[in-house]
Amino acid sequence: MNPHKTMTSNNGAPVGDNQNSKTVGEYGSVLLEDSYLIEKLASFDRERTPERVVHPRGAGASGYFEATKDMSAYTKAVLFAKAGKKTDLAVRFSTVIHGNGSPETLRDPRGFAVKFYTEQGNYDIVGNNLPVFFIRDAMKFPDMVHSLKPSPETNKQDPNRFFDFFSNVPESTNMITRLYTDLGIPQGYQYMDGSSVHGYKWINAAGKVTYVKYSWVTKQGVKNLTIEEAAKQQGMDWQHATMSLRKDIADKNYPQWDLYVQMIAPEDLQSFDFWPLDATKDWPADKIEKIKIGTMTLNQNPVNYFEQVESIAFSPADLIPGVEASEDKLLQGRLFSYFDTQRYRLGGNFQQLKINQPLEPVVNYNSNGYGSFANKKFENPDVNYQPSNKASFADNSEFKQSETTLSNVTITQKKISKTNDFAQAGDFYRALTKKEQDNLIKNLCGDLGQVTDKEIQKKMITFFYRADSNYGMRVAEKLGFSQKDFRN
Strand positions, DSSP E, 96-141: 110-118, 121-128
Q: Tell me the pLDDT tens digit for each residue of 439-483.
A: 999 999 999 999 999 999 999 999 999 999 999 999 999 999 998
Within 10 Å of residue 208's Cβ, how many Cβ atoms?
14
> Is residue 392 very low, low, confident or very high in pLDDT (cuts 50, 70, 90)?
confident
Amino acid at 143: D
Q: Which CATH class for the 30-134+169-374 domain?
A: mainly beta
Confidence (pTM)? 0.89
The number of CA neighbours under 13 Å toward the Cβ of 7 is: 22
- Which residues carry out catalysis? 55, 128
Minimal CA–CA distance to 90: which of 318, 337, 334, 343? 318
Task: Give the phi and the psi of residue 91 in degrees, each rounded to 5.
Answer: -125, 145
Task: Give the phi and the psi of residue 399 in degrees, each rounded to 5.
Answer: -110, 15
- H-helix or E-strand spanning residue 174: helix 173-179
Task: Determine the pLDDT at residue 374.
Answer: 60
Q: Tell me the pLDDT tens digit for each residue of 125-135.
A: 999 999 999 99
Share of the chain above pLDDT 70, in %: 94
Those residues whose C-beta lies under 8 Å from the C-beta of residue 13, and which sit 6 or more positions away, are 120, 121, 122, 318, 319, 320, 321, 358, 399
Domain borders along the chain are 30-134+169-374, 423-486
Please determine, for residue 47, whether its predicted confidence score (pLDDT) is greater than 70: no
> Is residue 48 very low, low, confident or very high in pLDDT (cuts 50, 70, 90)?
very low
Task: Determine the pLDDT at residue 276.
Answer: 96
Q: Tell me the pLDDT tens digit for each residue of 423-432.
A: 999 999 999 9
Rg, C-alpha atoms of the chain: 23
Mean pLDDT to the nearest integer, 280-304: 97
Q: In CATH terms, is domain 423-486 a member of 1.20.1370.20?
A: yes
Mean pLDDT to the nearest integer, 43-70: 71
> Is residue 54 very low, low, confident or very high in pLDDT (cuts 50, 70, 90)?
very low
| Distance between CA atoms of residues 233 and 225, nearest Å | 9
